[in-house]
Copies of this chain bind each other. A is one copy, B any other.
Amino acid sequence: MTRIRLSDMACSIARATDLFGDAWTALIMRDVITGVTRFEDLTNDLGISRKILAARLTRLVEEGVLVRERYQDHPPRDDYRATQKGEELYPVLLALMNWGDRWYAGPTGPPARIRHLDCGQDTHAVTACAHCGGPLTVHNTTQLPGPGECVGPGTRVIGPLIAGREADDAVSPQPE
């Protein structure tokens, strides 16, 4: 939550960052997706201030990333579950985890493994092209303006579009 409203920028990264670019939000989403869905458990697990946790949860519910659900009636108790929108943040978490594993794992290795149930293997995430399945890296991609307008400050869009790198037309020129 910066002073300046990042969401005023048209760039999708800025939009996402406005929500997710908070130290706690990523950890909260990790926990909720993981099954730590109750207020008390979240405070204990994260060590976050109750005040901030309440504020973040409210925000995440407003954004439609979490829903508050009653999980028992006798003493009425609610918890927080990820919506589809929330679950789709999983790739972001995997990417962060992957990077953390690569660059910060100790000599004993990463603190967690991911098992892909479809193939049964312990694995890690790769970021691939939706068309050909090949890996997507800084060096084999270019960003082009999309159909949506992107005005205002911070509207740079990632990839070697600008400046010295000059990859201004990749295969075909502009968008219509």
Contacts and interface: CB of A to CB of B under 8 A. Distances in A.
Contact of A144 (B35, B115, B171): B115
B13 A26 contact: yes
Task: Kindly report how many copies of this chain are found in the complex they form together.
Answer: 2
Interface of A: 1-2, 4, 6-7, 10-18, 20-27, 30-31, 33-37, 41, 44-47, 82, 85, 87-106, 108-134, 136-150, 153-166, 170-171, 173-175
Chain A at the B interface: SS class: mixed
Contacts of A108: 147-149
A11 B117 contact: no
A116 B131 contact: yes
Contacts of A21: 20-27
B12 A156 contact: no
